Amino acid sequence: MLRRADVVVHDALIDVRVLALAPAHARRIDVGKRGGGRHTRQEDINRLLIEEAACEGTVVRLKGGDPFVFGRGAEEVRALAQAGVRTRIIPGITSGLGGLASAGIPATIRGVASAVTLVTGHGAGADPLEGVDWRALACSRATLVVYMGTRTIARVAGELMAGGLPPETSAAVIERATWPDERVVVTTLRDIAETALHAEIAAPALFVIGNVVDAGVRSNGRKNGQRHTHLQGSTR
């Protein structure tokens, strides 16, 4: 589909090599949202898609990962449907799974974790943690993968520990997963906020909590239970 596109409306984190798959004549429109930086309102994106679809040609809305997992793809499809625009949805792999795999951390592993929960660390309300019962998640024993939580790591960790999750629980932050400058910080739930701050972790990043982190450490040849800071790529 991308090779036949006349217009590509894309997110900020799309690799330029993927954008290059579109024909040379295709217009490329960056509508990416960047935490703390340039921001394209969702209403404007919806309107742009409807306007572009009204013209002749093929419009591709290119999103990172799975468009229906914290990607607001459902809102865009709904707006297009209300405008009478037909859509075809091509699924992707969400960063909460693909990013973990890239870092060598399994989301689930037999005997360690049999469930995984994907949750946002930056909700739509005035309070970024609003809408999530963090203390209930602390009791779930599932691997927790927090998206968009770079600025709320300390609060999330605090809520989970207040909910009974042991401070010694393994935790990791994966910055720019799958990219050449990917960095992975591994420590405990108690220390993850301070460690990530010291490493100057920046968005986009995933926050992972659970014993699968240790399983990943072992699979990468490190000693069982070893605590460390692992910086790949652009180390300081």
Catalytic residue set: 11, 33, 148
- Distance, in Å, from the CA atom of 12 to the CA atom of 141, rounded to the nearest integer, reads 34
- Distance, in Å, from the CA atom of 138 to the CA atom of 224, rounded to the nearest integer, reads 23
Amino acid identity of residue 211, one-letter, is: N
- Distance, in Å, from the CA atom of 35 to the CA atom of 39, rounded to the nearest integer, reads 8
Chain centroid offset of residue 181 CA: 16
Are the beta carbons of 27 and 8 closer than 8 angstroms? Answer: yes
Instruction: Find the Cα–Cα–Cα–Cα dihedral 120, 124, 128, 129, rounded to 10°.
Output: -60
Token pair 């986009």 is found at 204
- Distance, in Å, from the CA atom of 171 to the CA atom of 216, rounded to the nearest integer, reads 11
